[in-house]
Chains A and B, each alone.
Chain A
Amino acid sequence: MGFNGTSPLLDQRGELRPEDFGAIRELSMNPIGDRIISAFFSPGKETVDFASFVRILAHFHPTETSRSRDGVQPEPANSRTRKLKFAFQLYDQDRDGKISREELLQVLRTMLEMQVTEEQLQSIAERAIQEADLDQDDAISFDEFRKSLEKVDIDHKMSIRFLS
């Protein structure tokens, strides 16, 4: 059900609205579904056009390792850093460049879906911040985020084989 299938009104408008995303059934079951949806929309805007849609999805294109690196070209959308940045922004809802304890707690709450107590959440969040927070500001910055995921194969994990 790609872009063209998400909305019967598409041909007319060429744009998507949040409701169109909401029509995807599996997405509504996804714990972070609404975060994903809101990631498509730039702050303040209510619609997303095809170009922006594709730009977001381009983050998930498999990374090409053979690409030569000349610092002149802007970093491709599907590079590891950009992928991580995209994920980071999903955590960081207020876009202050850091994942605060409260934001982390929110994410944990939605992922764990009422199956745990508040204290457990607190202790998990506490521990996570302890582990990752290197500069002791009680929040996880993007670099700390990236560092804590350095062992995970992001290129593999955040790639979908399509558009190839």
Chain B
Amino acid sequence: MPSRTGSHSPAGTGKSLPERGLLLLMVLVLLEGSVLPLGAASSPDISHQKNVDNHKVEHEKNYTKKAFPVLDLDYHHIQTPFEISLWVLLASVMKLGFHMIPRLPGIVPESCLLITVGLLVGGLIKLAGEKVPPVLDSQLFFLCLLPPIILDAGYFLPIRPFMENLGTILMFAVVGTLWNAFFIGGLLYAVCQIQPANPSELHQLEILPCLLFGSIISAVDPVAVLAVFEEIHINELLHILVFGESLLNDAVTVVLYHLFEEYSAAGTVTVLDGFLGIISFLVVSLGGILVGAIYGILTAFTSRFTSHTRVIEPLFVFVYSYMAYLSAEMFHLSGIMALIACGAVMRPYVEANISHKSHTTIKYFLKMWSSVSETLIFIFLGVATVDGPHHWNWTFVTVTVILCLVSRVIGVVGLTCVINKFRIVKLTTKDQFIVAYGGMRGAIAFSLGFLLKKEQFPMREMFLTAIITVIFFTVFVQGMTIKPLVELLAVKKKQEAKRSINEEIHTQFLDHLLTGIEDICGHYGHHHWKDKLNRFNKKYVKKCLIAGERSKEPQLIAFYHKMEMKQAIDLVESGGGVNLPSAVPSTVSMQNIQPKKPPPAKPVEKALPKMTKGREEEIRQILRSNLQKTRQRLRSYNRHTLVADPYEDGFSELLIKKQKMIELEKKIQHMNNYLTVPAAPPDSPTMCRARLASDPQAYSSKPAADRVPTIQVDLASPQSPDSVNLMDEFRRADQQEEDQGLMMKPPSGQSGPNRPREEDRGREQQKMTRCLSDPGPSADEEEEDEPFLP
């Protein structure tokens, strides 16, 4: 990314106080009259402030004793943070507001709405006579608004599809962007030179500024792509293609931008410069990735030692990633690629090391920040549009828009012809159309244009106008129509369901199989290298970067643990308090309730002892009383340690119980549909935009539909601490040896046939430690079922 030395003053200086008050009042109106402390800033108090200032001045001079100012107003003191908070609040409230309007989110993508809001706000500010703050200040944009989005994308990048399609993505990103830049730039120059008889301002445009403009406008923007594609839920392949392209073309953009900017003063570019440009490209991209990877490994290594300071674990992730970005920017390398590399590299190891809560924290914070950032970016885009300065030139703008479309289409089609020769699964015409249509431009292009210096580029305003027009066109027209088009063309949609253990086993099996076949053929293909990487990872890297026992845990086991844990928590949540038979964490048999289907004769695991109704009642009582208690327990914490994480300690027993509850669950589901009231259907895409894996309100459970509940559970649900404490409670309640697992209180009549099995389980659970997501670097299953990215 180009240097961020913006020469723009920070927002809001130099306004007089009464006007400031008036402006803020209007913003308040926009915020639906929410009562903010800003009420104090309305006009009457402003004069009070002046008086106080005067008083203070006098006070210093003559020390005349005045009345002590009981209530004082000092706006300047807090001005900057206050305005920032106001903007953020505005963005968030807008987001809320959209979802209250009934059908709007389905038709209009959120980005459009946000830009409109930005336009409104900008208009209001201008009407008030104020100078619109240069909110899309490049410094602010590149250093504060962009990194969270990119980090979020990189951390949750689905590695497997990304790597599998890496060649295609690179082709689109590098070759496609180059083609776009030169095509647009060149043809624009040609068009500008037409009409020799009629010398217009366009004739002043040299070839190099044209090429510069072309390179700015040609890059597909990750923010815009994310915002739009998220709502249309297309299949993973297309999503990763377009999104990957938008991420990787950053390097190309950086190099081209710098190249043309440097030399547009000189006026010519020689072959040597071109050659240096290519080298520079390699340096920028590979250097960025290297910087990111180094920081990623540092983070992973640091997280190995955080077992005693769990509270600050998320901080490491965020700070190291941000530093990776800044370091890359410092050397003018590609910051975006650094962030992506950092997130992708650190993720498997960090997740194996950090606690469950930290994992949730990281996820939520990333989603939150990226969501706010994105909202702010679009609003600011609207505000900046109003700001101008604009210079509308019909020819230039329309030709730009048309050329963008045309070059994109030609580029995609042409490249696909070449790419398809090397792909196993070819890209169909429908795919190509979506890829071409999904090439949105966004705020990055605008910011780059904004960075241009007026002295060097007299046509800067014309450029900016054209950029904004293209952005508006892509976001509004393409963004709004892509959803109906996807429906119309019946493009394959994203598959929602989770991976089952079967898929995982068989996929691994097939991996081995294919590696073996490749070895027999002597063909060193995809699987061969993946296998080598896996071996290297297992042998050396994991030992360094993952703490303790987890480093030896095979991926399949980790996956299995994760699934079991999710299921366990789900069962506890759904069963806790209401339908107790299923929440009974012990060796309860349902045989007396479900007489229809005798459980098949199986090894020890399925032979559950019987239990009478009376016993059940007692259990219910115990559960109820304990549930009361647990809710009051999680009260105190100090900032340095969390309450001993129940997940880590009592979890292993949890697993055992849940094992049995799976069977109970199945049988119960057959009986009736008593299971929890299905949660409200998933909210609008924006809720999904937060990309929470499964907020309990945001998914609908499928009762009785599946044999095995493979429901995704939000592990950060507020219920879970309580639920798990429930288990903790039980554990405490019965004072048996922990090894033996939980025997129900009263313990009579339970022990006999269970003991041997419980001991078995006991041994098993020693090894089953805390279950987090898979540590394998190359086979991350999709964690959320919302659009990826996690």
Contacts and interface: CB of A to CB of B under 8 A. Distances in A.
Partners in one complex: yes
A16 B563 CA distance: 43
A21 B521 CA distance: 11
A42 interface: no
Contacts of B602: 138
Contacts of B527: 160
A123 to B, nearest CB: 7
A148 B517 contact: no
B760 interface: yes
A135 to B, nearest CB: 11
Contacts of A1: 522
A134 B512 CA distance: 27
Contact of B509 (A6, A111, A138): A111
A32 B513 contact: yes
Contacts of A116: 554, 557, 767
A9 interface: no
B770 interface: no
Nearest to B560: A124
Interface stretch (B33-41, B130-138, B498-506): B498-506
Interface in B509-563: 509-510, 512-523, 525, 527-528, 535, 552-554, 556-557, 560, 563
A68 interface: no
Interface in A121-142: 122-124, 126-128, 130-132, 134, 136, 138
B618 to A, nearest CB: 29
Nearest to B507: A152
A10 interface: no
A27 B516 contact: yes
Given A2-B521, A126-B605, A128-B502, A120 B516 contact: no
Interface in B733-773: 760-761, 763-764, 767-768
A61 B304 CA distance: 44
Interface string B432-470: 000000000000000000000000000000000000000
Given A138-B600, A148-B500, A119 B764 contact: yes
Given A21-B520, A30-B519, A87-B506, A136 B600 contact: yes
Given A36-B513, A130-B707, A153-B425, A26 B519 contact: yes
B764 A32 contact: no
Given A124-B501, A149-B502, A24 B512 contact: no
Contacts of B525: 160-161
A158 interface: yes
Chain B residues touching A, range: 35 or more
A124 B707 CA distance: 16
A24 B518 CA distance: 11
Interface in B600-645: 600, 602-603, 605
A115 interface: yes
A93 interface: no
Contact of A119 (B512, B520, B760): B760
Contact of B424 (A33, A136, A152, A156): A156
A5 interface: yes
Contacts of B515: 26, 30
Contacts of A33: 516
Contacts of A30: 512, 515-516, 519
Interface string A2-33: 10011000000000000001001011011111
Contacts of B556: 108, 111-112, 124
B574 interface: no
B85 interface: no
A152 B503 contact: yes
A77 to B, nearest CB: 14
Given A87-B509, A149-B506, A120 B764 contact: yes
Nearest to A65: B426
B181 to A, nearest CB: 32
Contacts of A27: 516, 519-520
Nearest to B767: A117
B127 to A, nearest CB: 54
Nearest to A25: B519
Nearest to B655: A123
A66 B513 CA distance: 26
B535 to A, nearest CB: 8
Among the interface residues B513, B563, B763, which one has the most CB atoms of the partner chain A within 10 A? B513
Among the interface residues B499, B517, B603, which one has the most CB atoms of the partner chain A within 10 A? B517
Chain A residues touching B, range: 35 or more
Contacts of B426: 65
B767 A157 contact: no
B675 interface: no
A126 B761 CA distance: 14
Interface string A70-83: 00000000000000
B517 A36 contact: yes
Contact of A162 (B501, B505, B510, B523): B523
Interface string B328-349: 0000000000000000000000
A148 B710 CA distance: 13
B108 interface: no
B506 A111 contact: no
Contacts of A6: 520
Among the interface residues A27, A91, A149, A160, which one has the most CB atoms of the partner chain B within 10 A? A160
B240 to A, nearest CB: 13
Contacts of B480: none
Among the interface residues A91, A124, A148, which one has the most CB atoms of the partner chain B within 10 A? A124
A160 B521 contact: yes
B472 to A, nearest CB: 37
B307 interface: no
B268 interface: no
Contact of A131 (B422, B554, B708): B708
A89 B502 CA distance: 16
B495 interface: yes
Contacts of A148: 500, 502-503, 506
A65 B707 CA distance: 33
Contacts of B518: 160
A91 B510 CA distance: 11
A47 interface: no
B598 to A, nearest CB: 11
Given A87-B509, A151-B495, A131 B425 contact: no
Interface string A27-71: 101111100100000000000000000000100101001000000
A131 B763 contact: no
A87 B602 CA distance: 27
Interface string B476-505: 000000000000000000010101111101
Among the interface residues B505, B525, B556, which one has the most CB atoms of the partner chain A within 10 A? B505
A16 to B, nearest CB: 10
Among the interface residues B506, B508, B525, which one has the most CB atoms of the partner chain A within 10 A? B506
Contacts of B403: none
A92 interface: no
Contacts of B164: 156
A114 B553 CA distance: 11
Contacts of B497: 151
A123 B508 contact: no
B310 to A, nearest CB: 26
Contacts of A127: 501, 560, 563-564, 662, 708
Given A24-B520, A126-B605, A158 B510 contact: yes
Nearest to B528: A26
A55 B203 CA distance: 67
Instruction: For the complex of A and B, list the 3 residue pairs with the smallest distance between their C-beta atoms, beginning with the closest.
Output: A119-B764, A1-B522, A148-B502
Given A33-B516, A155-B424, 20 more contacts: A2-B521, A26-B528, A31-B512, A57-B517, A87-B510, A91-B509, A111-B509, A116-B554, A119-B764, A120-B764, A120-B768, A124-B556, A124-B557, A127-B560, A127-B563, A132-B502, A149-B503, A152-B503, A156-B164, A160-B518
17 contacts: A6-B520, A36-B517, A36-B520, A107-B505, A112-B554, A116-B554, A119-B761, A122-B603, A122-B605, A127-B564, A128-B501, A131-B500, A131-B502, A131-B707, A151-B503, A157-B507, A160-B517
